[in-house]
Amino acid sequence: MKLKLFSIIFFLSINFCFAANQIVDENKIYKNLRCLVCQGQSVADSNSDFAQTLKMVVKDLIGQEKTEEEIYHFLSEKYGDWILYKPKFNLENFFLWFFPYFVLITGGFIIVFLIKKRSKKV
Amino acid sequence: MQNTIKFFIILLLVFILGVFFISLNKSSNYDTKYLLGNKLTNFQLKSFYDNKVFINNDFKENNFTLINFWASWCAPCRVEHPVLIKLSKEKNLKILGINFKDKKANASKFLETLGNPYDFLAKDELGKQSIIFGIYGIPESILINKDFTIIRKYIGPLNNKDFNEIKGIIN
Amino acid sequence: MLSNIGNLLLFLNIFFSCLIINYSFNCLKISDNIIFKKIFQIGLLQCTAILICFFTLVSAFLVSDFSLITVYQNSHSLKPIFYKISGTWGNHEGSLLLWVIILTFFSFLFLIFNKKHPKDFRLYTLIIQNFLILGFLFFIIFNSNPFSKIDPIPNEGLGLNPILQDPALAIHPPLLYVGFVGSSIYFSAAMASLITNYSNKFFAISIKSWVLISWAFQTLGILIGSIWAYYELGWGGFWFWDPVENASLLPWFAMTALMHSLLVLEKRNLLYFWTIILCLLTFILSVTGTFLVRSGILNSVHTFANDPSRGIFILIFLSLMILTSIYFLFKKYKPINAEINSNSRETFILINNWFMMFYLLTVLLGTLYPIFTDVLTNYKISVGPPFYNAVIIPIVIIFLIFMAIGPQTKWIKNKFSNLKLSFFILCGAIFLNFVIINLFRSYSIISNLVIISSLFLIMSSFFDIFKKPLINFPRIISHISFGFLIFFIGLNHNFSEEKDFNLKLGETIQIDNYNFVFQDLELFQQVNYKAVVGKISVSDTKTKEKRMLNPEIRIYDNPQTLTYEASIQTNFFRDYYLTMSNIDRSEYYNIKFQKKPLMIWIWISVIMLSFGGLLSLFRNAKHN
């Protein structure tokens, strides 16, 4: 039973790792690209001419075996980082990526500290 | 200790409210106008007239090149056309026109009636080239220098102010 | 004519508010515990006046009185009556009137429903609430007056944006406003509590119902907004982490945290200052959200007409609110030393608040960050769904587990007695997860964990139903529904199929196991728009299911707008979702097709979640 369970988990994780490396998912890329014409929509959601053209180019780039990162780099060079819905991890965005975890960890410490201070000494 | 925390909280709030205040007077609409200084990557453009292909090397000799995306179906392109005609008389500047998602007959007719300001004329039938140049609307123009660095971007039709600015840069 | 009546009533309301504030201060000077009768009377008058004022605007919309700028800009004489009425609050000016209605009614109802509480607490709540009312009335009169006139009077209005002409969007703002404008009453109560030192569990009792009402309505309002976005905006998504959506979610997090910490204050007389902070925070976030949405400093897909002068006003109002609340909070703050055990219900509620704060601050940061980088460094970025998904989803897993264990614990001092049961439930959840994988297909590790933890929550809460005595049924409903919500979102996310392709009339295309035929294109003339309706048959070669979908492209007359109507076929197992859009200068149409499993269950879960809140409200009303 245990063995079966483990083999399933093992198989799953293998599957997961390979899936992540092999295929570049075009829909995932479209969803991460912000449409410049319609401002508030992703390329996947937009009906604009610009979005249609951008989709064609992304498809071409995938065809040229570019990775997801390379495609993002290519487009952000042309249109600025604004086009990416997932901000790059760089100096300017450090706080954005770091602060939520800081809140999480600090919050945990505050609760532990509070309870330690307040709980009845046995 | 407590006072420091209080002081810090107030400072933070004032800071946030201050940023809100400044941002009120900033436009929230995004454009790529200030995305300057990048070098154009290698490109290949099909000529409008024949099977010739333009590559970077064809523009190496130009001191300045203005890359102009246009189409005969685009009304603002008609508006900016006289400015392009005026610019075509500048010696230091070559103009590369890229005809965007257009029918050849319509585009030729457009140039016949309004004049042809382009030193080089290429076509972009599917629109894919526009992405390589970082274009997202028609008309849009990019001014590059000898080493293909983007010095100015003009989103929307060129006007006389832009004409004077370009003239100032190239001379 | 209507304009004069409206303006008169607005000024009358200002007068009433001033009167109430004045009498309340007078009444405070007298040391008995009786509130002047005339305060109640003026309160009633105030409610009547603002209601009539609102109906004046409604009737201006009904008779299409284009001498009012608001009516001219947002209505059209040929619009269906229903949308003429809903157009009243479908715009900035009219919706502010709705704000004031809710502020006024809540202030009056709070006064009459809290007879058991001391006079000074009730009166200070009334005074502060009336200051809020005054603030918004001034805003309406000096900046966003729905009764402003236009000269010369136009013959015809500009019309309401067609994507806003929708039943869901007609009820969405009122629901949402009861939610986040309703939170004003516990903002006022919290301030009053600080001023009058009314800091025990009775304070918690006085605001509990109001928190529950606003929470339930906020939940429903968010739901209706999502449903609308799902079928109207043609994304096939229902949550986009757009600034406007975030603005409604932020107060929701604060309310949820507040709802839980109130329990601690009520039962154990603990966490008083924290509860106060949450009360203040909820309404401050609501106003912040309004500021972000209405001032136009963020650009969003949801169309709101923007104007910086509005922004200035709301910003000043917001700053005053924050600074006053901070002042009283700092003045009255004193550390309390009460006992909390690490293993107790209190601790678990603190854990809930901890996670809520994490979600709140993450979403707040993500929403504001682009403004900050732009102002401070001129660097423009976007923060969108991939960011929130990456940061929030992994943390949801831990949260759900705590959420399952928390309610099992006892107040003050707890001993885990059914660890065995929990362990079995966890095994059951893991087993079910693998059944799902085996029956359908596998998904990522994170998704596995999300689904396991949501199943764990559902089953743990489910076992609570059989516990004797049955305590807190509403809580069980809400917790189960939340588990189901995450569970269905998880499945929906993992098993959604999406095809994006171009097709022209008469063409057939086979993608994976789907076969699409573009059979026909018809033109219909409707009352206020032309519709191009496509007939696209979709057949699934695997299941032999065949469906005809009819997406539309609509061309509205007033104002001239193009909209894309999705064709959606819903049943209990899946939604078929298809949109069609024309490609300029081409005979091809761009088709987006999605098969979204169990979509309807996401809506049902949220309805149940909110229902739990309402149930709890009735129980609470019965107890007190």
Give residue-wise pLDDT tens across range B107-122: 999 999 999 999 999 9
Confirm if C88 and C61 have CB atoms less than 8 A apart. yes
Give yes or no for residue C305 having a pLDDT over 80: no
A50 domain-assigned? yes
Amino acid letter, residue C88? T
Chain-chain contact of B16 with C326 (C-beta, under 8 angstroms) = no
DSSP-derived letter for residue C595 is E
Split at pLDDT 50, 70, 90, the class of A17 is: very low
Separation CA C195–CA C276 (nearest Å): 12
Separation CA C336–CA C342 (nearest Å): 17
Confirm if C54 and C101 have CB atoms less than 8 A apart. yes
Separation CA C532–CA C551 (nearest Å): 8
pLDDT at A2: 47
Mean pLDDT, rounded, of chain C: 90
Mean pLDDT of C288-309: 74
Chain B residue with CA closest to C323: the answer is: B10
A7 domain-assigned? no
Chain-chain contact of B136 with A50 (C-beta, under 8 angstroms) = yes
Residues A49 and A73 grouped into a single domain: yes
Split at pLDDT 50, 70, 90, the class of A19 is: very low
pLDDT at A16: 47
Chain-chain contact of A37 with B136 (C-beta, under 8 angstroms) = yes
pLDDT one-digit tens code per residue, C189-244: 999 999 999 988 899 999 999 999 999 999 999 999 999 989 887 677 889 898 88
Give yes or no for residue A1 having a pLDDT over 50: no
Residues A28 and A73 grouped into a single domain: yes
Q: Chain B residues with CB inside 8 Å of C376's CB?
A: 19
Residues A28 and A84 grouped into a single domain: yes
DSSP-derived letter for residue C520 is E
Mean pLDDT of A46-52: 85
The number of distinct structural domains making up chain A is 2
Q: What residues 14-73 of chain A have any CB closer than 8 A to a CB of chain B? A: 36-37, 39, 49-50, 53-54, 56-57, 60
Separation CA B84–CA B158 (nearest Å): 8
Q: What residues 584-603 of chain C have any CB closer than 8 A to a CB of chain B? A: 584-585
Q: Chain A residues with CB inside 8 Å of B29's CB?
A: 39
Q: Which of B9, B16, B25 sits opposite C308 (nearest CB)?
A: B25
Q: Chain C residues with CB inside 8 Å of B13's CB?
A: 322-323, 326
Chain-chain contact of C387 with A87 (C-beta, under 8 angstroms) = yes
Measured from the Cβ of residue A16, the count of other Cβ atoms closer than 10 Å reads 16
A5 domain-assigned? no
Give yes or no for residue A23 having a pLDDT over 70: no
Confirm if C556 and C563 have CB atoms less than 8 A apart. yes
Give yes or no for residue A14 having a pLDDT over 50: no
Residues A60 and A114 grouped into a single domain: no
Which residues sit opposite C594 in a β-bridge? C498, C577
Q: Chain C residues with CB inside 8 Å of A4's CB?
A: none
Q: Chain A residues with CB inside 8 Å of C362's CB?
A: 99-100, 103
pLDDT at C161: 78
Q: Give CA C141 to chain center in angstroms.
A: 27
CB contacts < 8 Å between A and C, how many? 131
Chain-chain contact of B10 with C326 (C-beta, under 8 angstroms) = yes
Residues A83 and A115 grouped into a single domain: no
Neighbours of chain B (3+ CB pairs under 8 A): A, C
Separation CA C56–CA C147 (nearest Å): 9
- DSSP string computed for B102-130: --HHHHHHHHHHH----SEEEEESSSHHH
Residues A81 and A93 grouped into a single domain: no
- B interface with C, Cβ–Cβ < 8 A, is 6, 9-10, 13, 16-17, 19-26, 28-30, 73, 101
Mean pLDDT of C141-161: 87
Q: Which residues of C332-347 are buried (b: 16+ CB within 10 A; e: fewer)?
A: eeeeeeeebbebbbbb
Ranges A73-82, C7-16, C165-174, C437-446: which has the least confidence:
C437-446
pLDDT one-digit tens code per residue, C56-108: 999 999 999 999 999 998 888 888 889 899 989 988 899 999 999 999 999 99
- How, if at all, do strands C561-565 and C567-570 pair? unpaired
Q: Provide the shortest C-alpha distance from residue B161 to chain C (in Å).
A: 25
Chain B residue with CA closest to A76: the answer is: B134
Chain-chain contact of A80 with B32 (C-beta, under 8 angstroms) = yes
Whether residue A62 lies within 8 A of chain C, CB to CB, comes out as no
Chain-chain contact of C379 with A92 (C-beta, under 8 angstroms) = yes
A6 domain-assigned? no
Residues A63 and A76 grouped into a single domain: yes
Chain A residue with CA closest to C590: the answer is: A47
pLDDT at C21: 96
Residue whose entry in the numeric block shows the structure tokens 């093992």? A10
Give yes or no for residue C303 having a pLDDT over 60: no
Separation CA C268–CA C200 (nearest Å): 10
Whether residue A103 lies within 8 A of chain C, CB to CB, comes out as yes
Ranges B36-40, C259-263, C444-448: which has the least confidence:
B36-40
Domain segments of chain B as ranges:
37-170
Residue of C447, C475, C450 lying closest to C461 (CA atoms): C475
Helix C201-232 vs helix C243-268: angle between axes, to the nearest 10 degrees? 160
Separation CA C48–CA B143 (nearest Å): 64
Q: Chain C residues with CB inside 8 Å of B25's CB?
A: 308
Length of chain B: 171
A93 domain-assigned? yes
Chain-chain contact of C297 with B28 (C-beta, under 8 angstroms) = yes
% residues pLDDT > 90 (chain C)? 63
Q: Chain B residues with CB inside 8 Å of C380's CB?
A: 30
Chain-chain contact of A60 with B132 (C-beta, under 8 angstroms) = no
Domain segments of chain C as ranges:
1-163, 388-495, 497-600
Separation CA B95–CA B87 (nearest Å): 8
Mean pLDDT of C445-450: 91
Chain-chain contact of B23 with C326 (C-beta, under 8 angstroms) = no
Split at pLDDT 50, 70, 90, the class of C297 is: confident
Neighbours of chain C (3+ CB pairs under 8 A): A, B
Split at pLDDT 50, 70, 90, the class of C24 is: very high
Q: Which two tokens stand for residue C273?
A: 């200052």
Split at pLDDT 50, 70, 90, the class of C119 is: very high
Topology (CATH) of B37-170: Glutaredoxin (3.40.30)
Mutation for B interface: C297, C309, C312, C584, most B CBs within 10 A: C297
CB contacts < 8 Å between A and B, how many? 40
Neighbours of chain A (3+ CB pairs under 8 A): B, C
3-class DSSP state of C502? strand
Give yes or no for residue C486 having a pLDDT over 80: yes
Give yes or no for residue C613 having a pLDDT over 60: yes
**Whether the bond into C474 is cis, omega within 30 of 0:** no
Whether residue C312 lies within 8 A of chain B, CB to CB, comes out as yes
pLDDT one-digit tens code per residue, C561-585: 888 889 999 999 999 999 998 887 7
Q: Chain C residues with CB inside 8 Å of B22's CB?
A: 375
* Residue A57 lies in domain: 24-88
pLDDT at A4: 52
Q: Chain A residues with CB inside 8 Å of C386's CB?
A: 31-32, 85-86
Split at pLDDT 50, 70, 90, the class of C406 is: confident
Q: What residues 555-614 of chain C have any CB closer than 8 A to a CB of chain A? A: 564, 579, 581, 583-584, 590
Confirm if C609 and C485 have CB atoms less than 8 A apart. yes
pLDDT at C403: 92
Mean pLDDT of A21-31: 78
Helix C473-495 vs helix C445-464: angle between axes, to the nearest 10 degrees? 160
Give yes or no for residue A18 having a pLDDT over 50: no
Ranges A80-89, C26-35, C106-115: which has the least confidence:
C26-35
Q: Provide the shortest C-alpha distance from residue B70 to chain C (in Å).
A: 15
Chain-chain contact of A39 with B30 (C-beta, under 8 angstroms) = yes
Q: Which of A54, A80, A82 sits opposite B131 (nearest CB)?
A: A54
Residue of B151, B85, B150 lying closest to B119 (CA atoms): B85
Q: What residues 27-86 of chain B have any CB closer than 8 A to a CB of chain A? A: 29-32, 35, 38
Mean pLDDT of C482-498: 93
